[in-house]
Amino acid sequence: MPSETINGERLMRHLHELGSIGRAQDGALVRLAGSEEDKLGRDKLVEWLKEADLDVVVDKVGNIFGIWNPDGVGPSHPVLMLGSHIDTVINAGIYDGCYGVLAGLEVIQTMMERGANPAVPIVIAAFSNEEGVLYSPDMMGSLVYAGGISADAALASVGTDGSVLGERLAQIGYAGTEEPGFLKPQAYVELHIEQGPVLERERVTIGAVENLQGISWQRIVIEGDANHAGTTPISMRKDAGLAAARVITFLRDRAKASSSRAVATVGTISFEPNAINVIPSRATFTVDLRDPNEHRLEEEEAALEEFLNQLETDEGVTVKVERLARSEPVKFDENIVKVIERTANARGYSYMRMTSGAGHDAQMIARVAPTAMLFVPSIGGISHNPKEFTQEQDLIAGANVLLDVARSLSGAEH
Amino acid sequence: MPSETINGERLMRHLHELGSIGRAQDGALVRLAGSEEDKLGRDKLVEWLKEADLDVVVDKVGNIFGIWNPDGVGPSHPVLMLGSHIDTVINAGIYDGCYGVLAGLEVIQTMMERGANPAVPIVIAAFSNEEGVLYSPDMMGSLVYAGGISADAALASVGTDGSVLGERLAQIGYAGTEEPGFLKPQAYVELHIEQGPVLERERVTIGAVENLQGISWQRIVIEGDANHAGTTPISMRKDAGLAAARVITFLRDRAKASSSRAVATVGTISFEPNAINVIPSRATFTVDLRDPNEHRLEEEEAALEEFLNQLETDEGVTVKVERLARSEPVKFDENIVKVIERTANARGYSYMRMTSGAGHDAQMIARVAPTAMLFVPSIGGISHNPKEFTQEQDLIAGANVLLDVARSLSGAEH
């Protein structure tokens, strides 16, 4: 096993330089996909890709590819793809997405410098609009790349500011001509910060991400009767707020009792009329259910439905459920996960298998290519926040594992 | 027992005529204390009191008294007082308060017409600013009358519109000169719609109100950690929303298990950051506890406090409690309650003892005089709403019982 390592100083410099682009006057990092700030970030990435002698190609939805093709093979030849995204949320941290793209660049530069000779081209991908802040859906660039929606449909997306994504991409110079999907990955690997607290808690450096949770989002509206808080006996109430509270504790109790990685969250709520001395006539709240196993996720949804039906009887309320979003869990490629474990082990890094609780471009590319992810610890599990932080040694460790995984998957070891 | 009855036609005409005063352009009934509409309502009441040959006196805080003093006794002589209020909430019904004042007038007119000769003066009281919409506190006129706060303090109250109550009362011509408390009731009786669903459910016509719930209002703020709904395992969460839901179900479970008339209500809630995929870092909600027994109300408060302490340990959250309001329960005069029961029974009306869940002027006057209340059914328990409704036969029944109670308490039967 090679003991070669990536250039940590260069990786950190790239991370901090990209993270300095798109700072608002108050210092907040904001590079929303399609914005002027996104253009500045893209320009910097393209500059670095070109400095590394990579071929830069932009496809119709603005996905950027940096291609290392040492043997000059044709465009139909399989490639190894390493990637993530460089767009951000509002008031973001500097690691989310950018780390995967810049670590991929670092891996290629290291391999070039050490004279590695991969059997397939290695490609860095920076997918458009992963965060989906202005334009829906999120993970858009990788979704289009995997054929989930057409490029035309994506480009027609109207942003929350009224703009059209296709026009904005043209304005900032990133409306390419290549058809999304033009490169055929034989494998896709995405290195990312965990955005959760597990690795830090477990004191483990590398997460070998074997699957990604399915997500079920529902909005629930419970209707009862608004009555006087003083004059209405408990037995005569139709208290929509109490019914909502019972749903919240039910979901927690189930998730806590589950032996799986299931999670359930009620993140939003409102009561009407929302007066201190009036029993709530309406409670509106959202339910976020996640499970890495589709069958179990369906079981959780069914259990909630049954509970809500019983609630109508028990509390004299009516319940309406609106489905907001639903994605099936993704099982990543077992072989790549094993390669990740093996290389982490050979490097002497602690590692564990885990589930991604958040969505990533990898879940889209998994539709068309063997795919897996690596995680490194996020301090405090914090992400989408300026406090997002991963220690330098862990960032370097993750990139080193990515280097070895890339060597292995590209046949560069042979 | 006399079978004389009040003039139902006249009572209903008065109720509907007063209820037609203060209608906004959209038809909503609004006579906020101190407003121009309040003046119009007061003017109409005073007109009726004078037509009935009552002496009309207005005190410093605008309480209006119509005095029937057939024997011409001096001002220090005890009186029987019947009353309530004629100010309204925004978009009110026509019965709340007005019914008690106009039924009192009806009782005196009936007694006059039948040649009754009470041993004490009978006084109709319309207390100022019972609703407290613009000016705090509510039940202000009766509170001042009972010596709970000074007239000057009440008159200095600054409204939510920035106006000063004393100035407004002067503008509308109801800043009187008499000192509040100038009449000494030997008994005070307030007839009111129930504003709750109990009498209708129980198919009972007359509620003999033996006490009035103490009220405890608290605002509770629970602080946890905002983390990603997908990446944070259940065991690592500090979910302020879940903790709030546990408080709501705890309060309901206790109230349901209680053998008393205790009620508990969480009428308002908010989460922060209130995002579908973020665990709530903060939940803010209000708790309204009521019990007719002070000792039990204190027990409920203590049980909540203990639960909140345990919650901090169980859920890893911090809890802050702010007391918003607290009033002790009021026990009404047992003799008057028995008179109400006896007269209802003699009239052949069904009746039951009950607790007032809402606040009323009677709770203030109870500080300085033997006091009780009568309730009649509110359809659907609805109040503070244009749908507020009591059937005519019940309104007449309530006034008839008030007539007999007034005869009894004023010595007019002898």
- Nearest residue on chain B to A282, alpha-carbon basis: B267
Does A230 sit within 8 Å of B290, measured CB to CB? yes
- Which residue, A227, A231, A277, A233, is CA-closest to B132? A277
Report the gap between the CA of A211 and the closest CA in chain B (Å). 13
Which are the contacts of A309, defined by CB distance < 8 A and separation ≥ 6? A319
Does B197 sit within 8 Å of A236, measured CB to CB? yes
The two tokens of residue B312 are 């901090």
Residue pLDDT, tens place only, A231-245: 999 999 999 999 999
The whole-number pLDDT of residue B281 equals 95
Does A290 sit within 8 Å of B276, measured CB to CB? no
Q: Where are the domains of chain B?
A: 8-212+329-410, 214-327
Does B201 sit within 8 Å of A269, measured CB to CB? no
- Average pLDDT on B195-203 reads 95
- Nearest residue on chain B to A215, alpha-carbon basis: B230
Residue pLDDT, tens place only, B147-180: 999 999 999 999 999 999 999 999 999 999 999 9
Does B288 sit within 8 Å of A232, measured CB to CB? no
What's the complex ipTM? 0.85
Report the gap between the CA of A225 and the closest CA in chain B (Å). 10
B157 touches chain A (CB under 8 A): no
Percent of chain A past pLDDT 90, that is, above it, reads 93
The residue among B265, B271, B376 with the most chain A CBs within 10 A of its CB, best to mutate, is: B265
Please name the residues between 214 and 233 in chain A that touch chain B, using a CB distance below 8 Å: 215, 217, 227-233
A352 touches chain B (CB under 8 A): no
The two tokens of residue A209 are 């991400």
Helix (H, G, I), strand (E, B) or coil at A369: coil
Dihedral (CA of B325, B331, B336, B341) sign? positive
The residue among A277, A363, A390 with the most chain B CBs within 10 A of its CB, best to mutate, is: A277
Cβ neighbour number for residue B345 with a 10 Å cutoff: 15
Percent of chain B past pLDDT 70, that is, above it, reads 99
Q: How confident is residue B4, by pLDDT bands cut at 50, 70 and 90?
A: confident
The two tokens of residue A120 are 């397939």
User: Is residue A62's pLDDT more than 80?
Assistant: yes
User: Can you name the CATH fold of B8-212+329-410?
Assistant: Aminopeptidase (3.40.630)
The two tokens of residue B142 are 């009766």
The whole-number pLDDT of residue A414 equals 40
A257 touches chain B (CB under 8 A): no
Residues from chain A contacting residue B265 (CB–CB below 8 Å): 229, 239, 277-279
- Average pLDDT on A114-121 reads 95
Residue pLDDT, tens place only, B220-238: 999 999 888 999 999 999 9
The whole-number pLDDT of residue B1 equals 43
User: Can you name the CATH fold of B214-327?
Assistant: Alpha-Beta Plaits (3.30.70)
The whole-number pLDDT of residue A1 equals 43
The whole-number pLDDT of residue B3 equals 62
- DSSP state at residue B65: E
Quickly list H helices, A52-184: 98-113, 140-145, 151-155, 165-171
B348 touches chain A (CB under 8 A): no
- Displacement of CA B93 from its chain's centroid (Å): 14
Report the gap between the CA of A58 and the closest CA in chain B (Å). 32
Say which CATH architecture domain A8-212+329-409 belongs to: 3-Layer(aba) Sandwich (3.40)
- Average pLDDT on A55-77 reads 96
- Nearest residue on chain B to A202, alpha-carbon basis: B236
User: Is residue B2's pLDDT more than 80?
Assistant: no
Poorest-confidence range of A99-103, A191-195, B25-29, B373-377?
A: B25-29
Please tell me which residue, B275 or B141, carries the higher pLDDT value. B141
User: Is residue A258's pLDDT more than 90?
Assistant: no
- CB-nearest partner of B269 from A269, A358, A384: A269
- Rounded to whole angstroms, what are the CA distances from A399 to A55, A374, B265? 22, 10, 55
- Nearest residue on chain B to A197, alpha-carbon basis: B232
User: Is residue B252's pLDDT more than 60?
Assistant: yes
The whole-number pLDDT of residue B258 equals 87
Q: Are B31 and B89 in contact (CB under 8 A)?
A: no
CA distance B29 to B100: 18
- Which residue, A110, A15, A101, is CA-closest to A64? A101
Report the gap between the CA of A362 and the closest CA in chain B (Å). 16
Cβ neighbour number for residue A320 with a 10 Å cutoff: 11
- Average pLDDT on A301-314 reads 98
Does A266 sit within 8 Å of B274, measured CB to CB? no
Q: Are A12 and A111 in contact (CB under 8 A)?
A: no
Q: How confident is residue A4, by pLDDT bands cut at 50, 70 and 90?
A: confident
Residues from chain A contacting residue B234 (CB–CB below 8 Å): 252, 255-256, 263-264
The whole-number pLDDT of residue B392 equals 98
- Which residue, A159, A205, A167, A206, is CA-closest to A373? A206
Residue pLDDT, tens place only, A202-234: 999 999 999 999 999 999 999 999 888 999 999
Residue pLDDT, tens place only, A368-408: 999 999 999 999 999 888 999 999 999 999 999 999 999 99
CA distance A98 to A385: 14
Does B252 sit within 8 Å of A228, measured CB to CB? no
- Average pLDDT on B302-331 reads 96
Residue pLDDT, tens place only, A5-24: 999 999 999 999 999 999 99
A203 touches chain B (CB under 8 A): no
